[in-house]
Structure 1
Amino acid sequence: MTGSPVLTRPSVDPPAHPRPAEGAARRPGRTARLRRRNLWIYAFLLPTFVLYGMYTLYPMIASYWYSLVEWNGFTADQRFVGIENYRAVLADPMFWSAVRITLVFMLIVAPLRVFGAFFLAILLNSPKLPFSAFFRTMYFLPVVTTTAIVGVVMRFVLDPASGPLSVLAQLLGLGSIDLLGSSSTALATAALVYVWKFFGITLIYWLAALQTVPRDLYEAARIDGAGAVQTFRHITLPLLIPFLLIITVLTVEDCFHAFDLMQTMTAGGPFFSTEIIEIYIYRYAFAATIPQLGFASAAAVLFGLLVLVVVGIQLWVTVIARRSGVRA
């Protein structure tokens, strides 16, 4: 007896479709979490934005308006005078003297910081030097010290009557030394103190740049029989030229901000021999019997243009140097 064939229904898998309900539930939840996270980020950044706007952006913008008015800062009366403040500043010989002193100060400080820190970084970067971490820390310690405090302390150290340097000179029979009281030595003395104060920053720049040089190149040069001078000339120096340009720009720009040290050490004296542009602006804006905020603001705007010109010249020289290097 043969049984009748059993008819089976073919199994057909249902087409795979995404679950719209589950996907729709996940996306809004994820979006909400991202939104909450971004809100927290903006909440923590808000105080920085507010303070930066109040104490940096607003004074910068307001100085342009103040440079066009005559205002003593005490009354609400502001008389619009246009470019008269700029004409007065440009006609003042003391302004050009402050410009010259600022540029001389920069020409003293920048080479000492850039090239002095470069050669010291080469020594401290050597793995054969013992206590290299200790020396790096010692050179960086003056950077974390308040600049105004450094100026006050150095003024005491260089005091011609009771300062340690003058006392030591008298013991050696050299007589009293008044480096800050002489117009021929005050600027150079303040510049050297400024170099010592911020030398550690430039040193850190160079140490970071040296870390970018691959060690494989040094090992290959050593295998080929290259000496220390040849390795420095053909490997280290070419790879550090881009960093030299960047560090020089940063150092030169930093040299224009020596107000706190110069004010506490010399206050622009003696006989205005150390009056940089920042002290010149401060003298008319705050130290005068009747402040001239419009005049001081015009000087500040011109000072900003001077910084832009100097940085622009550096960038132009950088472009020329790079093009010459590519052609060579």
Structure 2
Amino acid sequence: MARTITPAPTPAPTTLTAPPTAKRGIDTRRQTIWIWAFLTPTLVLYGLYTLYPIVASYWYSLVEWNGFSSGQRFVGIANYRAVLADPAFWSSVKITLVFMLLVAPARILLSLLLAMVLNSPRLPLRNLFRTVYFLPVVTTTAIVGVVMQFVFDPASGPFTAFLKMLGAKGGVDFLGDSGTALVTAAAVYVWKFFGITMVYWLAALQTIPNELNEAARIDGAGAFQSFRYVTLPLLAPFLLIITVLTVEDTFHAFDLMQTMTGGGPFFSTEIIEIYIYRWAFSASIPQLGFASAAAVLFGVFVMVVGALQAWALVVARRSRKELS
């Protein structure tokens, strides 16, 4: 009987695949390309409208230029000398510091008290109250300034009507009186940005274990003693950071102050930012070189505050390590 020979099966063709390492490299490069593709518009706009004006201001501070003509005359540090010799500049520095002293303590202390109340788990609707107090933060600052002009209108404003209900005979021009304009603007600024400082304190309070306060109450400590000997020492590192952040924030009140008072009356609310704006854009003959020199000096001042902020962060971290 003849034997049947069965041919051997033909092996299936193998598909060449890239090694896993090479595939991960390709995926990583694709992700990098997409990341840069999405970041490029932001980087271009940031460079054009933020970095370039900052760098250009250093050059403009060394020239005499009105912003309209093409000619720029190099004057060196003459603009800086003129700014430092201008009494109005030092008046704006003083007003800025007074504004900071009015705003920063009020924001820090009042927001701390409110944060302690809103941090209590026994408070009903505490999330609603947190949202209500934070709403002014997300409101456009310029709109708030325009609305506050109507609120404090001495003729027909709601605040004047409220004072008349209390028995006042006439309205008080809080924004038109040089003695009350800065205090009124400071109060509005505190109300506007009160919520962000409150959020800082709420975040700090939530780092304190509830067991510590419960143990203090078991030992007979009252609310004030528990705050003084338990809560306050643990909040000390955060107090330093929040203070520096709040102080630095008070130096950027241009939009609110410009829309509420415009630096008046009689320059009583002219902070440094409005002083720079007046010379750069509001003067009959703009002096961009002079204004740029004032802006550079103001930038150095803010940089010093930023250095203090960095130092505060280092001190706070060391304090937290010692407490832990």
Smaller-chain TM-score range?
Answer: 0.7 to 0.9
Q: 1:311 to 1:25 in 2, by over 3 A?
A: closer
* 1:276-301: CA deviation from partner (whole Å, max 9, x where unpaired): 00000000001112110000000000
Q: Which moved more, 1:255-264 or 1:235-244?
A: 235-244
**What residue is the counterpart of 2:7 in the other structure?**
none
Matched, 1:305 2:307: no
8 Å CA contact 2:64, 2:290 repeated in 1: yes
Describe the SS at the equivalent of 1:247: helix
Amino acid at match of 1:151: G
Q: 1:321 to 1:52 in 2, by over 3 A?
A: closer
Please tell me whether Structure 1 or Structure 2 has the larger radius of gyration of its CA atoms: 1
* 1:60-82: CA deviation from partner (whole Å, max 9, x where unpaired): 11110100001111121111100
Matched, 1:227 2:222: yes
Amino acid at match of 1:161: A
* 1:201-224: CA deviation from partner (whole Å, max 9, x where unpaired): 000111011111122323333444
Amino acid at match of 2:273: E
193, 212, 223: which is aligned to 2:188? 193
**What residue is the counterpart of 1:36 in the other structure?**
30
132, 144, 168: which is aligned to 1:150? 144
8 Å CA contact 2:153, 2:160 repeated in 1: yes
Q: 1:48 to 1:204 in 2, by over 3 A?
A: same
2: CA distance between counterparts of 1:320 and 1:123?
28
2: CA distance between counterparts of 1:163 and 1:223?
52
Aligned alpha-carbon RMSD (Å): 2.3
Consecutive unaligned residues in structure 1, runs of 5 or more: 1-20
**What residue is the counterpart of 1:261 in the other structure?**
256
* 1:86-131: CA deviation from partner (whole Å, max 9, x where unpaired): 0000010000000000000000000000111011101110112122
| Alignment TM-score, normalising by the size of structure 1 | 0.87
**What residue is the counterpart of 1:65 in the other structure?**
59
Amino acid at match of 1:57: L
**What residue is the counterpart of 1:124 in the other structure?**
118
8 Å CA contact 2:257, 2:263 repeated in 1: yes
2: CA distance between counterparts of 1:317 and 1:51?
32
Amino acid at match of 1:134: L
Describe the SS at the equivalent of 1:166: helix
8 Å CA contact 2:244, 2:305 repeated in 1: no
8 Å CA contact 1:165, 1:177 repeated in 2: no
**What residue is the counterpart of 1:244 in the other structure?**
239
2: CA distance between counterparts of 1:169 and 1:86?
47
**What residue is the counterpart of 1:213 in the other structure?**
208
**How far 1:169 moved relative to its partner?**
2.5
Q: 1:30 to 1:315 in 2, by over 3 A?
A: closer
Describe the SS at the equivalent of 1:274: coil
Describe the SS at the equivalent of 2:19: helix
The 4+ residue runs of structure 1 with deviation greater than 6 A are: 314-326
8 Å CA contact 2:66, 2:288 repeated in 1: yes
Q: 1:130 to 1:321 in 2, by over 3 A?
A: closer
170, 179, 197: which is aligned to 1:202? 197
72, 82, 86: which is aligned to 1:88? 82
**How far 1:322 moved relative to its partner?**
9.1
2: CA distance between counterparts of 1:318 and 1:152?
37
8 Å CA contact 2:279, 2:286 repeated in 1: yes
8 Å CA contact 1:151, 1:261 repeated in 2: yes
| Alignment TM-score, normalising by the size of structure 2 | 0.88
Q: Which moved more, 1:46-55 or 1:110-119?
A: 46-55
8 Å CA contact 1:140, 1:201 repeated in 2: yes
1: CA distance between counterparts of 2:314 and 2:202?
24
2: CA distance between counterparts of 1:26 and 1:301?
54
2: CA distance between counterparts of 1:304 and 1:227?
47
Q: 1:184 to 1:83 in 2, by over 3 A?
A: same
**What residue is the counterpart of 2:8 in the other structure?**
none
**How far 1:177 moved relative to its partner?**
1.0
Q: Which moved more, 1:315-324 or 1:98-107?
A: 315-324
Q: 1:121 to 1:321 in 2, by over 3 A?
A: closer
1: CA distance between counterparts of 2:224 and 2:161?
44
8 Å CA contact 1:117, 1:203 repeated in 2: yes
